[in-house]
Structure 1
């Protein structure tokens, strides 16, 4: 019986490997020095790997391409890219490809440990969501799923009264070869994607405490664009006052260096006055050590200037996920009980279908598209239900774009 899980490091450079091997962690480290090794380890240990770290360049291969491939064969939610330097263009590309976080060289132990802890906490929250849903007798437990005796029952349960509608489950029978474990993983992935979609659509109250006008302007515009309520404070004193006035403060972006009081000094006062908010420290390169130290003082996370919008949004969403767990759980349980899957969840499952079909070198039929998106059926369209599509073409051109184009043609 395993007493710990693994995290996978896909890396070429010895100094990177040595830095990770020197960590004191309850998790065991699996080392992959090539894409082929990573794929083999991921398939072999899929049920036990919590986090995947990937160097951005491995033997002249782009780590982002490796990230894409690994995400296609595994439901692991936490992928952290290791970049050679803090290149904003590369970080943006990594985040948009599906990385949940990035870590830039030179690597240091406190930063790596912090990234691991954040990822593990997020994973544990996902597991808690699934366990709490399990209590509602909607899905089977992981232990049951991996017991062969339960697999037929699981398949019947999912088809008859589980998460997936009958026609969707039937469409998967031949693909999954009656593999209850695989179907359960897909089901869980859909649930977690549904929650992630809800997080992205939460309208949060976010307080920015920063004395630099350009960052105030940038953050205000960006956060309002993604539909959050934004409050701006120019210094620590004003920030503390506004924080106490906001009902339901969710996240604070707190600059480390300010003229009247450092963010490190304000942090404990802020948490005492607003204990339910999540504080993300904002730091410049020369303040990194101070920012990392604030994690022990109660800060949720930190972000380094200059940062990218996807990077910041990922950290905010992770904070909201932690803070809003009860709300999100109630939402997803309600969806499951009423068997109403969000568009994002159905899109997730359709993406899985495309990946499976690409691997099997077989086509996607339009009729199968209707299985996942019944709202497109029986509407005027120039595409016949017998039309077939190459999954490789759909993946290359963007599955979401394909579905959205169908949506527009049916309006």
Structure 2
């Protein structure tokens, strides 16, 4: 699955016609200030606004007609923005667009491994999968990465403003093509490109071509297709005897959890939200029960299914519980799920892929229709590194070597 700067489709510039301007639509881009080519209007003088409101209404609320008019106008504008941000079916259920560039093992085998370059964005859970598998397999040197940031218009852009944060991955410049935006990179491919510019994206530097922008295809390649370049080639996150189980778990986790949180946050009707939130939490309940007797989803071995679940869990209390209305329970209220998440977080190299500040900024400051103020809330204490580093006691569930489950070089 891809992230188009967390948006499935860019938002249009909203038309607010006046007597001197014509109503028109600009090309679609997500934009917190709803303007791409103009500076935002000057902030009204708060003293003047206060004086006018006191003259009109005194200490009371504005008249009901004004309130209902503003409410109706905002509701219409919100539905217009949401229809572009998160396409839905007639009942208001969010429908995620499919990836445009898929690759199978045969196509991957034709690539020259040393010409691959990975593009990611830190807020995106789908891109996060690729960073984790790349780190666990020891492909950091063989597959360089460029980390994009969500721009003010919601598109992925590259900028050299990040402050180093220890060994954590931080945003930066495009080290492969020197582009300013990810859209520019996509356009470099033969024949150009005008579709959704999503992360993660695997790029062939030599051929100037998009190899793949489907996250699961990429993590399968990193797991087993580049062992000749990996410093940890013996780690197999998708062993043949477990492939069926991994697929079965993915069939549960993807629609109900990975995409389930988005179905909650992007629902455009009460019925769609109720259905999504019930399916999400019934699945979390089931997972919590299962992990009470199993260290990982498929037993004693960490697999790709665990990686896919982890990148949603690590964002749950940080973002989805609040912004996406996944409010029935916090993840920290699930003892087995939260300990399981800490277990994976504490695997060497995984914590370095988790940039919580970038994740929060990418959601709260960019998803304008869900958070018009762009105010980023305080980080929950249960999401801080010190808390996530506390003992998880999950090794007692392993029937094999309890000390080294995931060897990482």
The structure with the largest helix share of the pair is: 1
The structure with the largest strand share of the pair is: 1
TM-score using structure 2 length: 0.26
TM-score using structure 1 length: 0.26
Relative contact order higher in (CA < 8 Å, ≥ 6 apart): 2
